[in-house]
Structure 1
């Protein structure tokens, strides 16, 4: 009991969500992959602006998510000193949920998003939830194609899901059992 309380106070992730920095090889390039820190938020916001031209998340959303180390994992991928991608996922007893994924435009189409998704799917399989879910913009056909390739199935449409643009989202899910 004291150990769990100490982890909460120290904001230390449980062993199952520990993620040591590592090199990830995608194609013929090596990248540095590690847990996201508060110091990475500015780069993550810039990356989102480059992709979405508006920011679905703000600084407070990232700060809040990064504090939830007991049930979430946010990773950043670097080429040299430049952040080129990030991904976040919540892990619950029955469901894991991809909260956010972004790959900078200059690195899109190289398999980075797929590699990060596969990593989170594998983490979810290790932790035992029955399914993994996500929301995707209904007009983002490239992302939907990737998720279908990874075994996700289409779900219901959420009208006006994205607050800043009033865009629609589709729920997608993949069984892990």
Structure 2
């Protein structure tokens, strides 16, 4: 895609994130949750902007020497264009900049597209969190990557 900018999250981006959340997840994060993340010293978020609109984002918490991916989403109109790759690469770079040694995340057991994206970047499934997702009690696959 042409004319995309990857940058850190700004407060003015939050409405776009909320829109993407509602279109992407059955239990979306709220506007207030994202506002709290802006003041969370552990949280780092990156966005992809296209024509002055945020079309993808990802977040990570940097806790001591571990990076915990909180969420990654791409606006449905822009799926399949490699934006998920850019977000994952950006989060890995944030971890490297902050001397993080490993990264982790949870992903729905049924979300094979996301699991394959993470595997492409060296994440490995290491366990299951039973009934992790509140909307349908679906299990989460726990994945880890060493840096």
TM-score where L is the length of structure 2: 0.91
> Are 2:28 and 1:56 equivalent residues in the alignment?
yes
Q: Which has the higher contact order (CA 8 A, sep 6+)?
A: 2
Contact 2:46 2:90 in 1 (8 A): no
Distance 2:136 2:30 in 1: 15
Secondary structure, counterpart of 1:161 in structure 2: coil
SS of match in other structure, 1:29: coil
Q: Classify the secondary structure of the residue corresponding to 2:130.
A: strand
Larger radius of gyration: 1
- Show structure 1 runs of 4+ deviating over 4 A: none
- What displacement does 1:113 show? 0.6
Q: Is the 8 A contact 2:11 2:38 kept in 1?
A: yes
* Unpaired runs of at least 5, structure 1: 1-27
Q: 2:39 aligns with which of 67, 70, 87?
A: 67
Matched, 1:39 2:12: yes
> 1:96 aligned to 67, 81, 85, which one?
67
State the number of aligned residues.
147
Alignment partner, residue 5 of structure 1? none
2:105 to 134, 141, 144: 134
Deviations 1:32-79 (A, max 9, x none): 222223332222121112122x233122221221111x3221122111
Bigger drift between 116-125 and 140-149 goes to 116-125
Q: Distance in 2 between matches of 1:60 and 1:156?
A: 31
Q: CA deviation at 1:89?
A: 0.9
TM-score by length of 1: 0.76
**Contact 2:125 2:144 (8 Å CA) reproduced:** yes
Residue deviations 1:95-153, cap 9 Å, x none? 01111110011211111111110111122122212201111111000010111111000
| Contact preservation (8 Å) 1:56, 1:162 | no
Q: Distance in 2 between matches of 1:104 and 1:124?
A: 24
Quote how far apart the aligned CAs of 1:30 are: 2.5
Q: What runs of 5+ residues in structure 2 fail to find an aligned partner?
A: none
